[in-house]
Amino acid sequence: MIEADEAGRTFTVRRRVVHAVRDLSFRVAAGEFVACLGPNGAGKSTTIKMLTGILTPTSGRIRVAGLDPSRRRTALARRIGVVFGQRTTLWWDLPLRDSLELIRLLYKVDRKVFRERLDEMCDLLDLGGFLATPVRQLSLGQRMRGDITAALLHDPAVLVLDEPTIGLDVVSKAEVRDFLRRRCAEHGTTVLLTTHDLSDVERLCRRVLLIDHGRLAFDGTLDGLRATAPGATSIEEVVTDLYLRSRTTPRTPPPAPRPTPDGPSATA
């Protein structure tokens, strides 16, 4: 469902070429729920933006739902849903209901189907109380539920979630996670999620991609990731350990492949 082959993106900052992402290769099969982890500035957002067609890769090849994101952006938009936790994709000044109706029209979702899906979401995410409120007046938790609803109204095959639980309180986080797990399992949606909250990963994802310095540093199961640092007591420690190790490893040559007892092999 998602394929990246040696995908890279460079930015020119004051005449210096910066590799935000380089030689990124991975595959995500239909129905998988994958977490994409990495420290700030590692290239997670750049990756997400290349997968959704917002940024054009400067090298390599990317396919999402069989389409080249940057060239077939509009066609791809009908098949993917995107949530940016940091900012809303809804219209700031419009009531939530109007925003969702506009999305219905933009995605050409049949009115009856839309009604059914919205009723289902209202039920599961408890939207009823704030459908008439302008988006700018919603609390963060309400806004996030609105954004998730908006991303799912056209029943996308792929859902991309960029930090969907950032800033949410414990209760809201649990609600959002429960909803995502159930809904995506029922519909067979392929999900790629970035997060800094490792409990998101523990609850939702079987597979983990770790991106660091713009490269794929680990690709395997959560247990596999744990096994890379046997002494660690929590998943936080495992990831911190990996971050620290990658920081002390010289940048060139690229970091050596790390052993992964189960799951797909690590790449460098």
Partner 1 sequence: MIRTYALLAWTWTRAAAQYPLSFALMTVGGLVVGGLDIAVIWVIFANTDELAGFGLTEVMFLYGASQLAFSLADLLFGNVDRVSRHIGAGTLDAMLIRPASPFVQVAADQFTPHRIGRSIQAGAVLAVGLTRLDVPLGRVWMVPVMVVSGIVIFAALFTLGGAVQFLLTAAPEVANAFTYGGAMLTQYPLSVYDARIVRGMTFALPLAFVNWQPGLYVLGRPDPLGLPSWTGLLSPAAALTLAAVAALAWRAGIRRYRSTGS
Exactly one of 3, 32, 91, 232 binds partner 1 (CB under 8 A); which one? 91
CB of 85 closer than 8 Å to CB of 146: no
Check residue 96 for interaction with partner 1 (CB under 8 A).
Answer: no
* Residue closer to partner 1, measured from CB, 90 or 238: 90
Name the residue nearer to partner 1 (CB basis): 211 or 222. Answer: 211
CB proximity list for 201: less than 8 A, separation 6 or greater = 35, 37, 193, 195, 208, 222, 235
Nearer to partner 1, 11 or 119 (CB): 11
19, 63, 78, 245: which one contacts partner 1 (CB under 8 A)? 78
Does 11 contact partner 1 by CB under 8 A? yes
- Find where tokens 């690590």 sit: 266
Judged by CB under 8 A, does residue 54 bind partner 1? yes
Question: Between the CA atoms of 44, 45, 48 and 50, what dihedral angle is there, to the nearest 10 degrees?
Answer: -110
Nearer to partner 1, 78 or 245 (CB): 78
10 touches partner 1 (CB under 8 A): no
* Run of H or E residues at 217: strand 215-221
- Three-state SS string across 117-164, please? HHHHHHHHHCCHHHCCCEHHHCCHHHHHHHHHHHHHCCCCCEEEEECC
- Residues binding partner 1: number (CB under 8 A): 30
- Among the listed residues 22, 49, 173, 183, the single contact to partner 1 using CB under 8 A: 49
By CB under 8 A, tell whether 77 contacts partner 1. Answer: yes
Residue of 98, 197, 237, 241 that binds partner 1 (CB under 8 A)? 98
* Interaction of residue 27 with partner 1, rule CB under 8 A: no
Q: Are 243 and 39 in contact (CB under 8 A)?
A: yes
Give the integer Cα–Cα distance in Å for 205 and 207. 6
Would you give the DSSP letter of residue 189? -
Name the 3-class secondary structure at 248.
helix
Q: Using CB under 8 A, which of 2, 28, 65, 88 touches partner 1?
A: 88
196 binds partner 1 (CB under 8 A): no
Residues that bind partner 1 (CB under 8 A): 11, 45, 49, 52-56, 70, 73-75, 77-78, 80, 82, 84, 86-91, 93-94, 98, 102, 105-107
